[in-house]
Structure 1
Amino acid sequence: MFTRNNFKKLATVSCIAASIGFSSFASADTWRYAHEEYENDVQDVYAQQFKKYIEDHSDHTLQVYRFGELGESDDIMEQTQNGILQFVNQSPGFTGSLIPEAQIFFIPYLMPTDIQDVIKFFDSSKAINEDFPKLYAKQGLELLKMYPEGEMVLTTDEPVTSPDELKGKKIRVMTNPLLSSTYEAFGATPTPLPWGEVYGALQTNMIQGQENPIFWIESGGLYEVSPNLIFTHHGWFTTASMANKKFYDGLPDKDKTLIQKASDYAYDATIKHITGLAEESLKKIQSKSDKVTVTRLTDEQLAKFKARAPQVEKTFIEMTGDSGKALLDQFKADLKASQ
């Protein structure tokens, strides 16, 4: 049935298509790429380097859209699947509802936190470089690169050192079932919210905390309304660059090669960019506000959080079945090999 909501969605997509000059007869020489972050943030660095390589090595042009210019994460994914956008950058935090196995990145204490260990894992992992492309392809997406952005840091309305101290606190999470399970295991009340509502919700005490890489806490000004930073070392924020598969499969081989090389080029530049970024961002935060506190958990305090992780892993397997179990086994084997 064609409901009012369907009509509203169609109207929205039509307006967006018109605003970016989309037409079924548009030249393939102009490609469009949308991501989830602001200017000079990690995803923007990747997108700009991807654009640079494409334009330096071909006659194609690439138009990059940042957060909010075409909507939020769900909007740009829908536009990519509909062919309005050729490329999209989206984290598994949102892709997890489309590809349940992508939620694996939200199993706490699965990933290492040392940046060199993380980079080595991404470079060598069979799960990331061979298994995930097959999962994305089933959803009409050509996975170009998965890459890390930064260690996840929890911000709250007061310093926290144990799961007991998170009890009753509403922590904002992305629309990701497993991430909700993680914060339930940590003792908090997970509260899914789109990014555009997070600052205001923290400011009005609708929520009492959120998690993000430190650079995003700095660039989004989250420390202004959630000034207590807790380093729980429970995981890294991961994201993925991908293309509309129908568009990609229809390209000549030379353009497919161009895109793959651009992905590699952008990845290398992004890894260089994130090295030292967390430390730099924390210094900026501390220079801007004297209300900020930084809590680095001791091994004894971390153990209390780590003890909650197995139940999240169990939930992941329940959500994803045999395919998730196989992916998790491969993930663990890759992690062991990389370390």
Structure 2
Amino acid sequence: MISRRTLLAAAAGATLPLAAPGVLRAQARDLRLGIITPPGHPWNNAALKVAEVLKEKTGGKLTMTVFHAGQLGNEGAMMQQLQTGALDMAFLQAAEVGNRVPNVAAILAPYVIRSTEAAAKLVRQPIAMQMLEPLPKETGTLGLGWGITSIRVVFSAKEIDGIAGLNGMKLRINTTPAFRDFYSLLGAAPTPIPTPQVYDAMANGQVDGLEADLDFSWNQRFDKVSKVLMRMDAVFMPFIALASGKAWQTLSAEDRALITAATKEALAVQVDQTVTNAPKLLKDFEGTGIKIVVPPTADAAPIIAEYDKIWAPKAPILPELRKIGATLG
């Protein structure tokens, strides 16, 4: 396994011992980036921006092809391709990386942040990059930075007035254990449904509710199959821009620096745009006439205590993450 020191040195532009020195950019090279979201999604736009900058800065010698909508497989498959060097880069959800590195999953804990604005601030804190330091050793990848989604909301097909309404609800969730444990503590029955089938599952009563970020929810128009939108202000799903450790070593220091800078710039724009768009999306939902419920903040305290009994031993960074999150508004 590639060591963290080796990859971090590469990120800083140091010269690496290469198995084949001739692979450094002497001719045109097309990088491959995988992503599960469809064309037009904010994450995809960020990936395409990286590709645009690389082509412009190198006069077309270094380009990037973005494989949208899981064309290369699901996130687990893309992680494996990163590890073998078959894939150069990927934008993967923190859930996928957190399955392998529990400290990364800590960012998914409920009530670490309470708003999209706070989520944006959190991924820009030094602790966010600190959480990615074990990736070279644990996954053979290098974390170049974070992107975000808006804070997630819950849609319900039945009338609910607060968190208690989730008790007994068949709730479609992201399958990550971090979310599963949270919603289980609330009494819900977490139900995994493939993303393309979520709308129909709500429409035909296969599930009573679902949780998702605002962008995806508006694109899918979940308000049309729901009576209530509950603003949990509890969890969000960031993503990580990952580079393959094996592929990284075949790049020159100049190219590594260029890719890192282009990625960080594109992610910064994506984060800012997500913050700007979140209130607009909420207004769009308000305009549909759907009932919007905002549970009292005090309801969160018992859940935080129970959740941390489960997750603090697995993700020791969680208490520090909570302290920092509490300062972000």
TM-score (norm 1): 0.81
Q: C-alpha distance in 2, partners of 1:198/1:77?
A: 24
**Number of paired residues?**
302
Give the equivalent residue in structure 2 for 1:186: 186
Shift of 1:136: 5.2
Compared with structure 1, are the counterparts of its residues 200 and 260 closer, same or farther at alpha carbon in structure 2 (3 Å cutoff)?
Answer: same
Give the equivalent residue in structure 2 for 1:226: 226
CA contact (8 A) 1:169 1:208 kept: yes
Summarize deviations over 1:238-293 as a string: whole Å, max 9, x none.
Answer: 11110111111231101110111011211221123113212222344455x55x32
Shift of 1:164: 2.8
Give the equivalent residue in structure 2 for 1:103: 105
Identical-residue share of aligned pairs (%): 19
Q: C-alpha distance in 1, partners of 2:285/2:69?
A: 22
Q: C-alpha distance in 1, partners of 2:153/2:320?
A: 26
Moved more, 178-187 or 80-89: 80-89
Give the equivalent residue in structure 1 for 2:9: none
**Structure 2 counterpart of 1:307, from 302, 316, 329:** 302
What is the root-mean-square deviation of aligned Cα atoms in Å? 2.4
State how 1:1-339 maps to structure 2 within 5 Å. Answer: 29-58=29-58, 59-113=61-115, 115=117, 117-126=118-127, 128-135=128-135, 137-285=137-285, 289-290=288-289, 292-297=290-295, 299=296, 302-318=297-313, 320=314, 324-325=315-316, 327-335=317-325
Q: SS at the partner of 1:138?
A: helix
CA contact (8 A) 1:53 1:265 kept: no
Q: C-alpha distance in 1, partners of 2:136/2:201?
A: 33
Give the equivalent residue in structure 2 for 1:16: none
CA contact (8 A) 2:120 2:148 kept: yes
CA contact (8 A) 1:202 1:225 kept: yes
Q: C-alpha distance in 1, partners of 2:197/2:78?
A: 17
CA contact (8 A) 1:49 1:269 kept: no
Q: SS at the partner of 1:64?
A: strand
CA contact (8 A) 2:35 2:90 kept: yes
Summarize deviations over 1:83-126 as a string: whole Å, max 9, x none.
Answer: 332111111223322222222122211124251x3333322232
Summarize deviations over 1:289-315 as a string: whole Å, max 9, x none.
Answer: 55x322223x3xx32244212111111
In structure 2, stretches of 5+ residues that fail to align are: 1-26
Q: C-alpha distance in 2, partners of 1:195/1:94?
A: 15
Q: SS at the partner of 1:95?
A: helix
Shift of 1:47: 0.8
Q: SS at the partner of 2:151?
A: strand
Q: What amino acid sits opposite 1:233 in the alignment?
A: D
Q: C-alpha distance in 2, partners of 1:81/1:201?
A: 35
Q: C-alpha distance in 1, partners of 2:83/2:95?
A: 18
Q: SS at the partner of 1:142?
A: strand
Compared with structure 1, are the counterparts of its residues 215 and 261 closer, same or farther at alpha carbon in structure 2 (3 Å cutoff)?
Answer: same
Q: C-alpha distance in 2, partners of 1:223/1:75?
A: 32
Q: C-alpha distance in 2, partners of 1:174/1:114?
A: 18
Give the equivalent residue in structure 2 for 1:9: none
CA contact (8 A) 2:171 2:208 kept: yes
Compared with structure 1, are the counterparts of its residues 209 and 139 closer, same or farther at alpha carbon in structure 2 (3 Å cutoff)?
Answer: same
CA contact (8 A) 2:103 2:131 kept: no
Compared with structure 1, are the counterparts of its residues 227 and 249 closer, same or farther at alpha carbon in structure 2 (3 Å cutoff)?
Answer: farther
Shift of 1:39: 2.3
TM-score (norm 2): 0.83
Which structure has the highest helix share of the two? 1
Q: SS at the partner of 1:132?
A: coil
CA contact (8 A) 2:173 2:212 kept: no
Moved more, 62-71 or 256-265: 62-71
Give the equivalent residue in structure 1 for 2:17: none
Q: SS at the partner of 2:206?
A: coil
Q: C-alpha distance in 2, partners of 1:105/1:159?
A: 30
In structure 1, stretches of 5+ residues that fail to align are: 1-26
Q: SS at the partner of 1:133?
A: coil
Q: C-alpha distance in 2, partners of 1:130/1:161?
A: 39
Q: SS at the partner of 2:262?
A: helix
Q: What amino acid sits opposite 1:141 in the alignment?
A: T
Compared with structure 1, are the counterparts of its residues 114 and 219 closer, same or farther at alpha carbon in structure 2 (3 Å cutoff)?
Answer: closer
Q: SS at the partner of 1:158?
A: coil
Shift of 1:337: 6.2
Give the equivalent residue in structure 1 for 2:5: none
